[in-house]
Structure 1
C-alpha cells in the first residue's frame, strides 16, 4: 500500500506545526480527508481513522463551547484512534487544550490560513494523486490537441520518432520510454513521467534530446489524462479493416478501460497525421458525432431520392 509522510503535507501546503513536530514521519495511506464532527459527539460507526482529520470553524467552535471535562471526553475519544494528523483551518486560535492532547498522543497538529472548503479541495486532490495505484509501462505519452495518448509498440518501431514529429507540429511530450500510469478513479487514468526522464526524448541515430531546450516550454507538460491507447505495429498484408466504422477495442490498465487503436506502419504513411486524426475523431465522438452515421444518412437520402 502506498503512503506518504505527514511532513509532505507540511511542505506542500506550508502548514504551521502546533504540536507533534517529532512525529511528522507518520504515514498517510488514505486519499481523502475527514471532518470529525459526529465523532466529537460520540458517534464512531464508520469512523475513517486512517484519514487526515480536518477541523473547520464548526468543529473548533463546538469544542470551544464545551467545558474542560467535556472536551477531555470528546477529544480523547478521537485521538485514541491515532489518526495521521489534525489540520485546523482558517488560522483559528485558542487551541492549547487540543495541542496538549495531540502532544501527549504523538499526533501532529497543523494549521493553515486557508478556508476549510478551499483547503479540503486542494488536500484531497493532492492525496488522490500521490496515493493513487500506479504502474510503469514502456511507451511514449503525449498530449495531442488536448487529448492524452499512450503510444506503444515494440522497441525500435518508431515511437519516439513519431513523437518528435508531433512535437514539431505543436503537440506536447509527457514521457518517453517509461510512462507512469496512475489510477485516479475507476474511469480516470493519468499519464506522467518518472522524474528522471522528464523533458527527454531518445531518438535513434541522434541520441538524447531535451524537447524544452529545443522547442520551448510549450513542447512539454508534466501529466495528462490518458484517453487513447495507440499501438504501432508492422504492416500486415490483407489485415487492414476498411469498414466504415471499426469495432471498438479496448486496453485495460489498473482496471481502467481505454479505447485501443492499432496503426500499421509502411514507408510513406503519415503516422503522426493519423494520430492527430485519431485524437480529433475521439473528441468528436465524445461530442456525439459519428462520421460513419452521417455518411449512412447521406447515402440513405440519395437512395430515397
Structure 2
C-alpha cells in the first residue's frame, strides 16, 4: 500500500508546524479527511481515526463553548484514538487546552492559512495523486491530437523512432523507455517520466538526445492521461491481422481496460502516420462513429436489397 509522510505533505502544501509531536515521519495511507465535530459532541462510533483530522472555525468555536471538564474528556478520547495529526485551518490560534491534549499523546498539530474547504480540497487532490497505485512499464508515451498514446512492443521494434517522427509532425513527448503510470481514478491512468530521464530519448546509432532542447518546449509535456495502447510487433506472415476493425482489443493496466491496437511493423510502413490514423479513428469511435460498422451496415443492406429483388 502506498503512503506519504506528514513531513512531505507539509512541505508540498506549505503548512506550518505548531507542534511536532513524536514524529512528522508518520505515514498517511488514505486521502480521506475527517472533520471531528461529531467526536467533540461525544459520538465516536465508526470514528475514522486513521484520517487526517481537520479543525475549522465551526469545530474550534464549539470547543471554546464546551464545559472544560467535558472538553478535556472528549479531547483525551479524541487524541488517544491514535490519529495521525490535526490540521488547524484559517491560521487560527491553537488554544492551550488543545495543545496540552496533543502533547499528552504526542500528536502533531499543523496549521494552514487557507479556509477549511480550500485546504481540504488541496489535501485530497494531493493525497489522491501521491497515494495512487502505480507501476512502471517499458514503452513510449506521446500526446497525439490530445490523446495519450502508450507505444509498446519489444525492445528495438522502433517505438522511439516512431515517437520522434510524431514529435517532428507536431505532437508531444511525455516519456521514453520507462513510463511511470498511476491510477488516479477508477478508470483513469496518468503517465509521466522518471525525473532522471525526463525529456530525453535514446535513438540507436545516435545515442541520447534532448527533445526539449532540440525541438523546443512545445514538443514535450510532463504528464498525460493514457487513453489507448498501440502495440508494435514484427510482421508475421503466418498471423492473420485485423483488416476490418470490427473487433475491439483491450489491455488491462492497474485494473483499467484500455483500447489496444496491434500494428505489424515491416520496412516501408510509415508508423507515425498510421498512429495518427489510429488516434483519429479512436476519437471517431469515441464520438459514436465506427467506419467498419458503417461499411458492414452498407454491405448487409446491399445484400438484403439484392435478395429482395430476386424474390
State TM-score, norm by structure 1.
Answer: 0.92
Q: Tell me the residue number matched to 2:79.
A: 79
1:115 matched to 2:115? The reply is: yes
User: Shift in Å at residue 162 of structure 1?
Assistant: 0.8
User: Shift in Å at residue 287 of structure 1?
Assistant: 2.2
Secondary structure of 1:285's aligned partner: helix
Whole-Å separation in 2 of the counterparts to 1:182 and 1:242: 31
User: Shift in Å at residue 127 of structure 1?
Assistant: 0.7
Within a 5 Å distance, the mapping from 1:116-265 to structure 2 comes to: 116-237=116-237, 239-265=239-265
Contact 2:190 2:226 in 1 (8 A): yes
Secondary structure of 2:230's aligned partner: strand
Q: Tell me the residue number matched to 2:4.
A: 4
Q: Tell me the residue number matched to 2:44.
A: 44
Structure 1 or 2, whichever has the larger Rg, is 2
Whole-Å separation in 1 of the counterparts to 2:62 and 2:283: 50
Whole-Å separation in 1 of the counterparts to 2:189 and 2:116: 28
Whole-Å separation in 2 of the counterparts to 1:44 and 1:97: 20
Q: Aligned pairs, how many? A: 305
Task: Name stretches of at least 5 consecutive residues in structure 1 with no aligned partner.
Answer: none
Deviation per CA, 1:241-270: give whole Å up to 9, x if none: 455333111111222211111111121212
User: Shift in Å at residue 302 of structure 1?
Assistant: 6.5
User: Shift in Å at residue 173 of structure 1?
Assistant: 1.3
Identify the range of structure 1 (67-76 vs 154-163) with the bigger mean alpha-carbon deviation: 67-76
User: Shift in Å at residue 57 of structure 1?
Assistant: 2.3
1:65 matched to 2:59? The reply is: no
Secondary structure of 1:174's aligned partner: strand
Whole-Å separation in 1 of the counterparts to 2:203 and 2:243: 35
Secondary structure of 2:198's aligned partner: coil
Secondary structure of 1:196's aligned partner: helix
Secondary structure of 2:34's aligned partner: coil
Whole-Å separation in 2 of the counterparts to 1:284 and 1:63: 58
Identify the range of structure 1 (91-100 vs 204-213) with the bigger mean alpha-carbon deviation: 91-100
Contact 2:246 2:293 in 1 (8 A): no
> What's the RMSD between the two structures over aligned residues?
2.1
Secondary structure of 2:7's aligned partner: helix
Q: Tell me the residue number matched to 1:55.
A: 55
Identify the range of structure 1 (197-206 vs 295-304) with the bigger mean alpha-carbon deviation: 295-304
Q: 1:11 to 1:242 in 2, by over 3 A?
A: closer
1:267 matched to 2:267? The reply is: yes
1:25 matched to 2:25? The reply is: yes
